[in-house]
Structure 1
């Protein structure tokens, strides 16, 4: 399953609230950076403590992931595709293929929210998050 992920420069919660007023929004789930377990390789600073780490919402029957990011964003580069797989092996295979000519954003490995996760920008500049 492929789910579009939209990244925001710190105003994701505001965007979710706006879209709830505009569209038929259901199944809202929001996780904040403050709720992530401590991880020395990804310290959560106070300035992002209350930002959205991950959210899932359904707009007019279509599922979207939305989150805040620290990356520099401009209109047009705010979209990432999240691909959900049944197994970690599938994640590894696709990650290795997308890696050819691309750039690793987050190295492949287990995360607290997934047994296998990796993030990559492919050779065409499209961002992917691979999740089992």
Structure 2
């Protein structure tokens, strides 16, 4: 099993709430620090796949973000459009919604938490 793990540096709770709304994700695990200000470890399910998240790990002086993209395949264009409408506020578009040689509907963007996504049908 290969599981993606994303570090949010203080915005993990907000990211979880957005992803719950966008993907109808379910929270499998949520462990917070003592004052409940940060997420120590979280696991959510998006489209039957596990995604791990937390607020720690990307400030080690070594790690840099980039070099990855999370890709989510939707059953139809309407579902993709609905999810994109819910997540696009504060995002940066890389490629607008369009048809390609490999899909009738694709959009690529970076969300407000600096996570790179591709939605496709």
Query: Which structure's residues are more often strand, by fraction?
Result: 1
Which fold has the larger relative contact order, with Cα–Cα distance below 8 Å and residues 6 or more apart in sequence?
A: 1
Could you tell me the TM-score, scaled by structure 1's length?
0.42
